[in-house]
Amino acid sequence: MKKPYSLFIIVSILFCFCTSLALAGEDTIKIGFNIPLTGEIPKVGEESKFAGQMLMDEVNAKGGLDVGGKKYKLEFIYEDNESKAESAVAVALKLIERDQILAMVGPNSSKQAVPAGQVANDNRTPMISPWSTNPDTTKDRPWVFRAAFLDPFQGPVAVDFATKTFKAQTAAVLYALANDYSKNLAEIFQADFKKKKGDGAVVAFESYGDKDQDFSAQLTKIIAAKPDFIFLPNNYNEVALIVKQAHDLGWKGPFMGADAWGNSELMTLCGDDCKGHYFSTHYAAAGAKGATKEFIDKYNKLYGYQPADVAALTWDAINVVLAGIQNAGKITGNVRKDREAIREGISSIKEVKGITGNMKFDEQGDPIKCAVVVKINDAGEFEFSESVCP
């Protein structure tokens, strides 16, 4: 009987210690970062961390965040989830229970954001994933939000943009049968284009298999159907092959792609063939204006390279959390109550001006925001062309 008793004492001492720490840090707001600093995609974690660092320094330099007339310093805690689902869950628990954060930013990839979202939701802590595009991350989880638009949103974006820019009345689609992302997007595009332009508007709807390299038969069929443009919701490596082969077969019209095109390897693989075509994505680094340009320049100066979409989305995600805190009106010091207030604060956000577009949230916690359509210019840069809003 001795052992549990001493354990109880230790636990209660620890508990006092923690609460006293929390009380001592009353004037700070703690936000946890659940990001991949090592593992498969360390660059993604690094950019998220740098974006967070930049924003924290900026706010703290001004004396802190103004909540209900009182200034609070920001404190960001960066934890590595090693780009693994199980580590993301452990990190989420650690941030919520030990570090007593008010809100969590991350994880970035859907593979980690889906399980970590469950943890955040069960522990009643607001979470916002900057980068995850899988609908399951936020679905039926009132405590989970995101900063990126969903995959299904891009189909209509392509339809509207092509209608306006190419004056398109007919379209053709070539998609990867074995890739869920590509297949879903192709089907959404087809449904939306048919709805807006009539049943026969999608003149060719073709697919190819895993690891295919020759697309000449599908492209011959597509070109013979004479569409106004070809929609390619495919990964960048396949895009490079398809575009080249289409040009060999005499296609001179435009292509339109989706956010999977947005990889720096696209231009090394595709070269001149891809220039002049368009794709929808989260943000455009080249030719950015206003706040986006300001962010890119600041980031570039501090860290020496151009930030990718994940840095910009993290920046926006943090701003959403901060706006949610300001909406909540006050910090009581009671973590449970504050978390609840912040969740309500985020979901009642009217609109946040973000560098990847302005956003507000629907009942699932997904942002209603504009997508950016990017043109690949003659220098091979992804240049802002226009933003398409839902």
- Using CB under 8 A, which of 208, 255, 278, 283 touches another protein? 208
Pick between residue 51 and residue 185 the one whose CB is nearest to another protein: 185
N- to C-terminal Cα separation, the chain: 64
**Count of chain residues binding another protein (CB under 8 A):** 29
- Mask for 230-249, x = binds another protein (CB under 8 A): -------x--xx--xx-xxx
Instruction: Quote the least distance from Cβ 146 to another protein, whole Å.
Output: 28
What secondary structure letter does DSSP report for 337?
Answer: H
Q: Are 75 and 17 in contact (CB under 8 A)?
A: no
Q: Are 29 and 325 in contact (CB under 8 A)?
A: yes
Instruction: Quote the least distance from Cβ 216 to another protein, whole Å.
Output: 4
**Angstrom distance (rounded) from CA 84 to CA 32:** 17
Which residues does 60 contact at the CB level (< 8 Å), separation at least 6? 73, 74
Pick between residue 183 and residue 197 the one whose CB is nearest to another protein: 183
- By CB under 8 A, tell whether 200 contacts another protein: no
Q: Are 370 and 388 in contact (CB under 8 A)?
A: yes
Pick between residue 251 and residue 299 the one whose CB is nearest to another protein: 251
Instruction: Quote the least distance from Cβ 369 to another protein, whole Å.
Output: 31
Pick between residue 240 and residue 370 the one whose CB is nearest to another protein: 240
Structure tokens at 274: 């891809």
Strands 278-281 vs 371-376: parallel, antiparallel or unpaired: antiparallel
- Using CB under 8 A, which of 169, 184, 207, 377 touches another protein? 207
Buried b / exposed e across 101-114, counting CB within 10 Å, b at 16+? Answer: bbbbbbbbbbbbbb
- By CB under 8 A, tell whether 73 contacts another protein: no
Pick between residue 20 and residue 268 the one whose CB is nearest to another protein: 268
Q: State the DSSP H helix or E strand holding residue 139, giving kind and residue range, or none if neither.
A: none
Pick between residue 13 and residue 217 the one whose CB is nearest to another protein: 217
Buried b / exposed e across 127-142, counting CB within 10 Å, b at 16+? Answer: bbbbbbbbbebbeebe
- Using CB under 8 A, which of 206, 228, 316, 366 touches another protein? 206
Which residues 5-34 are close enough to bind another protein by CB under 8 A? none
Pick between residue 69 and residue 209 the one whose CB is nearest to another protein: 209
Cβ neighbours of 180 (radius 10 Å):
10
Q: State the DSSP H helix or E strand holding residue 87, giving kind and residue range, or none if neither.
A: helix 85-97
- Using CB under 8 A, which of 220, 326, 327, 364 touches another protein? 220
Pick between residue 247 and residue 353 the one whose CB is nearest to another protein: 247
Instruction: Please state, in angstroms and as integers, the Cα–Cα distance from residue 350 to each residue in 316, 324, 344, 345, 389, following that order.
Output: 15, 10, 12, 10, 16
- Using CB under 8 A, which of 34, 218, 292, 314 touches another protein? 218
Structure tokens at 93: 């628990």
Strand partners of residue 371: 388
- Mask for 251-290, x = binds another protein (CB under 8 A): --------------x--xx-x-------------------
- Using CB under 8 A, which of 250, 289, 301, 350 touches another protein? 250
Instruction: Quote the least distance from Cβ 224 to another protein, whole Å.
Output: 5
Instruction: Specify the amino acid at residue 29.
Output: I
Instruction: Quote the least distance from Cβ 80 to another protein, whole Å.
Output: 22
Which residues 151-190 are close enough to bind another protein by CB under 8 A? 177
Length reported for the chain: 390
- By CB under 8 A, tell whether 213 contacts another protein: yes
Strands 371-376 vs 382-388: parallel, antiparallel or unpaired: antiparallel
Task: Enumerate binding residues for another protein (CB under 8 A).
Answer: 177, 205-211, 213-214, 216-218, 220-221, 224, 237, 240-241, 244-245, 247-250, 265, 268-269, 271
